[in-house]
């Protein structure tokens, strides 16, 4: 058949790779785990800091989730605790931007958010996988109300500027048609006995039945336009009532068109372990988590404290810091021990009295580049016009994706989209180099290629480039396998009276879970040393 012409010479390995793209979440998970990318959270229940610390004091640097987790547990265990925080708010990257908020990047560009009341964007973390058990446990413990985060929506779009004349395609159509065509190919191979030696005869028979079901194949193991395939991919005209009730089946997209468009590459987002349902978000914004922690430990936090020096001896740790509201005025804070959660991009520029192995580790980890843009529109046209309720559309344009809000479904009024989310690579660095206003305009221009309604419905927007963030200078630790092998243990080991924690000191970088688990591990080891000493 002509639509299979591009599969000539396709190796079995490539074919199975393509099958795994659509079907193999288990296979994808196993492969990712072998690379250290998808291990389930190591949280095993509440931390137990047994033994009397005898009034020992701990100075915590940073009130992100790692820092506040440490403060919460150490105070409960009997330590005297103080937190120094650069910002005027708790949470660090656990941050939500709402109407009326003002914020400034390292270039001095200040934005004031003009979103309507109740609307917001999360410039940092924004979703919680169901298997991030530590974070979920703290949300339950601290009373953070969660709601579903709609990551996967088959009615959202896949978009290629090079395929289908630049016209967005429904995820459902690409996924179902790709799955159907591949099922037909594999069924033909199976029928011809090409799998003998790899699959038993009995298994081949069961495989054919499975392919018929999984790929929506007909009795001849063909994938083609029919009411049966429309039950999977949707109809050209949906079933109705009365005289116009008769449905019209949708026409499958040719496999060669799917392959040449490259849209199949985005289907991995439906298999990745971190994105599988159910995912969650706090009601009202991701910073509800940081605020909940701050209700417990906020009295320990000194805000607007820019750390400039970290010194230690065999008796304790002394930190010099500047009040950012009174530049040039320095103060000092001292404690027996220190838990430092400052991002390594910042910490590498601070004078710190640690050994050469930890210093080398601090300097060895670059941070990923990421940019987000939030856009407010006059109406929720993605729901009203396109029937997209939550989820994510993916594109090869520089904005990479559009995420639709998982709140206020089917309500009239305005709404905010995540109109751009870049992660490393040329697109991310290009967006970082732009002014905040230019990023917003580019997000509108690019997004209008997917949703033509953008130009008429757009009202205002904000953007944040993490490499221009004064308190992180990057989004998250971007480890390589080589760097982990050489530096990871040295980064995490206690150096004298100082221990580091944060997402950068975990195997779950860029996730809130990594920050929390790193903190729990650090304070457990620190406590063991204190009570043993």
Q: What is the pLDDT of residues 465-512, one digit of tens each?
A: 999 999 999 999 999 999 999 999 999 999 999 999 999 999 999 999
- The answer to the question of residue 273 being in a domain is no
Q: Are residues 425 and 356 in the same domain?
A: no
Claim to verify: residue 9 and residue 135 sit in the same structural domain? no
Question: Does residue 356 share a domain with residue 482?
Answer: yes
The model's confidence at residue 276, banded by pLDDT at 50, 70 and 90, is confident
Based on the fold, state whether residues 313 and 443 are members of the same structural domain.
no
Same domain, 182 and 235: yes
pLDDT (0 to 100) of residue 15: 45
Question: What sign has the CA pseudo-torsion 490, 493, 496, 499?
Answer: positive
User: What is the C-alpha separation between 315 and 312, in angstroms, rounded?
Assistant: 8
Q: pLDDT value at position 477? A: 97
pLDDT > 90? residue 28: no
Q: What is the mean pLDDT of the chain?
A: 92
**pLDDT value of residue 39:** 46
Same domain, 334 and 425: no
Residue 203: inside a domain: yes
The whole-model pTM stands at: 0.89
In the chain, what percentage of residues exceed pLDDT 90?
Answer: 84
Asked if residue 249 and residue 105 are part of one domain, the reply reads no
- Over range 441-452, report the average pLDDT: 98
Q: Kindly state whether residue 50 falls inside one of the protein's structural domains.
A: no
- What does DSSP say about strands 337-340 and 498-500: parallel, antiparallel, or unpaired? parallel
pLDDT value of residue 296:
98
**270 lies in some domain:** no
Residue 293 sits at φ, ψ, to 5 deg, of -60, -45
Q: How far is the C-alpha of 373 from the C-alpha of 120, rounded, in Å?
A: 11
| 171 within 8 A of 154, measured Cβ to Cβ | yes
Which of 468, 494, 519 is the last residue before a domain boundary? 468
Pick 93 or 23 by higher pLDDT: 93
Q: In a 10 Å sphere around its CB, with 0-12 CB exposed, 13-18 middle and 19+ buried, how is residue 16 labelled?
A: middle
Dihedral sign, CA of 469, 472, 474, 476? negative
For the ranges 40-44, 168-172, 277-281, 500-504, the lowest mean pLDDT is seen at: 40-44
Per-residue model confidence (pLDDT) at position 27: 39
Note down the domain range covering 300: 57-92+288-365+478-532
- Going through 57-167 in order, the beta strands assigned E by DSSP cover 57-61, 80-84, 97-98, 102-104, 110-112, 120-121, 128-129, 146-149, 157-159
pLDDT value at position 315?
96
Q: What is the structure's pLDDT at 11?
A: 43
Q: Is the pLDDT reported for residue 20 higher than 80? A: no
Which CATH number covers residue 453? 3.90.660.10
Phi/psi at 439 (5° precision): -60, -45
Q: In this structure, is residue 51 part of a structural domain? A: no
Q: Could you give the CA distance from residue 169 to residue 178 in angstroms, rounded to a whole number?
A: 13
- Please check whether residue 525 is in contact with residue 500, taking contact to mean a CB–CB distance below 8 angstroms: no
pLDDT at 308: 98
Backbone angles phi, psi at 448, to 5 degrees: -70, -15
pLDDT greater than 50 at residue 105: yes
User: Pick the residue with more confidence: 50 or 28?
Assistant: 50
Structural element, H or E, at residue 335: strand 330-335
pLDDT digits (tens, 9 = 90+) for 107-149: 999 999 999 999 999 999 999 999 999 999 999 999 999 999 9
Q: Are the beta carbons of 401 and 461 closer than 8 angstroms?
A: no
How does pLDDT run across 388-446, given as a tens digit for each residue?
999 999 999 999 999 999 999 999 999 999 999 999 999 999 999 999 999 999 999 99
Task: Return the biggest CA–CA distance within the chain.
Answer: 87
Residues 431 and 492 in one domain: no
Statement to judge: residues 205 and 140 lie in one domain? no
* The last residue of a domain, from among 430, 450, 468: 468
Question: Per the domain annotation, does 49 fall within a domain?
Answer: no
Question: Residue 503 gets which letter from DSSP?
Answer: G
332 contact partners, CB below 8 Å, separation of at least 6: 318, 319, 320, 321
Is residue 5 pLDDT above 80, yes or no? Answer: no
40 confidence band (pLDDT: 50, 70, 90):
low
Q: Per-residue pLDDT for 321 more than 60? A: yes
Kindly provide the b/e burial profile for residues 232-266, where b requires at least 16 CB atoms within 10 angstroms of the residue's own CB.
Answer: bbbeeeeeeeeeeeeeebbebbbbbbbbebebbeb
Name the band, by pLDDT with cuts 50, 70 and 90, for residue 24: very low
Residue 188 predicted with pLDDT over 60: yes
208 phi/psi in degrees, rounded to 5: -60, -40
Q: What is the dihedral of CA 75, 76, 77, 81, to 10 degrees?
A: 0
What digits encode the pLDDT tens for the residues 345-381?
999 999 999 999 999 999 999 999 999 999 999 999 9
Judge if 361 and 488 occupy the same domain.
yes
Residue that has been written with the tokens 């349902």 in this structure = 277
Residue 135: per-residue pLDDT: 98
What pLDDT, on a 0 to 100 scale, did the predictor assign at position 141? 98
Residue 33: pLDDT above 60?
Answer: no
Classified as helix, coil or strand, 486 is helix
């Amino acid at each position: 058949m002509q639509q299979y012409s591009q599969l000539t010479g396709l190796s079995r390995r490539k074919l199975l790779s393509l099958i795994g793209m659509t079907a193999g979440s288990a296979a994808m998970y196993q492969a990712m785990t072998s690379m250290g990318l998808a291990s389930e959270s190591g949280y095993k229940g509440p931390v137990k800091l047994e033994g009397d610390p005898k009034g020992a004091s701990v100075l915590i640097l940073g009130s992100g989730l790692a820092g506040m987790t440490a403060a919460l547990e150490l105070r409960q265990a009997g330590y005297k605790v103080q937190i120094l925080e650069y910002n005027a708010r708790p949470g660090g990257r656990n941050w939500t931007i709402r109407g009326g908020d003002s914020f400034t990047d390292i270039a001095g560009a200040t934005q004031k958010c003009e979103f309507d009341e109740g609307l917001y964007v999360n410039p940092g973390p924004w979703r919680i996988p169901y298997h991030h058990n530590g974070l979920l446990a703290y949300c339950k413990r601290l009373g953070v109300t969660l709601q579903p985060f709609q990551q996967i929506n088959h009615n959202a779009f896949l978009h290629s500027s090079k395929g289908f004349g630049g016209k967005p395609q429904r995820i459902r159509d690409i996924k179902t048609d790709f799955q159907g065509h591949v099922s037909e190919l594999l069924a033909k191979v199976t029928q011809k006995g090409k799998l003998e030696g790899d699959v038993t005869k009995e298994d081949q028979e069961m495989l054919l039945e499975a392919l018929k079901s999984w790929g929506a194949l007909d009795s001849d193991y063909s994938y083609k336009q029919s009411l049966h395939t429309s039950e999977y991919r949707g109809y050209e005209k949906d079933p109705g009532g009365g005289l116009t009730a008769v449905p019209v089946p949708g026409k499958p997209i040719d496999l060669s068109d799917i392959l040449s468009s490259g849209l199949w590459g985005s289907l991995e987002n439906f298999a990745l372990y971190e994105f599988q349902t159910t995912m969650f978000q706090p009601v009202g914004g991701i910073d509800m988590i940081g605020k909940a922690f701050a209700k417990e430990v906020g009295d320990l936090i000194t805000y607007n404290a820019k750390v400039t020096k970290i010194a230690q001896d065999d008796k304790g740790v002394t930190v010099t810091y500047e009040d950012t509201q009174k530049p040039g005025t320095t103060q000092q804070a001292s404690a027996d021990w220190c838990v430092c959660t400052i991002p390594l991009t910042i910490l590498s520029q601070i004078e710190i009295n640690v050994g050469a192995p930890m210093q080398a580790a601090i300097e060895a980890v670059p941070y990923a580049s990421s940019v987000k843009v939030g856009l407010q529109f006059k109406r929720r046209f993605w729901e009203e016009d396109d029937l997209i309720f939550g989820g994510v559309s993916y594109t090869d344009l520089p904005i990479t994706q559009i995420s639709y809000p998982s709140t206020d479904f089917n309500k009239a009024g305005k709404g905010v989209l995540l109109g751009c989310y870049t992660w490393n690579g040329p697109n991310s660095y290009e967006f970082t180099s732009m002014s905040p206003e230019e990023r917003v305009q580019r997000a509108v221009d690019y997004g209008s290629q997917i949703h033509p309604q953008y130009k008429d419905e757009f009202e205002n927007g904000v953007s944040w480039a993490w490499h221009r963030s004064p308190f992180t200078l990057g989004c998250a630790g971007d480890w390589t396998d080589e760097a982990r092998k050489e530096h990871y243990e040295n980064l995490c080991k206690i150096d004298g009276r100082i221990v580091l924690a944060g997402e950068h000191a975990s195997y779950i970088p860029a996730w809130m879970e990594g920050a929390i688990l790193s903190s729990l591990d650090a304070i457990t080891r620190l406590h063991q040393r204190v009570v043993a000493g």
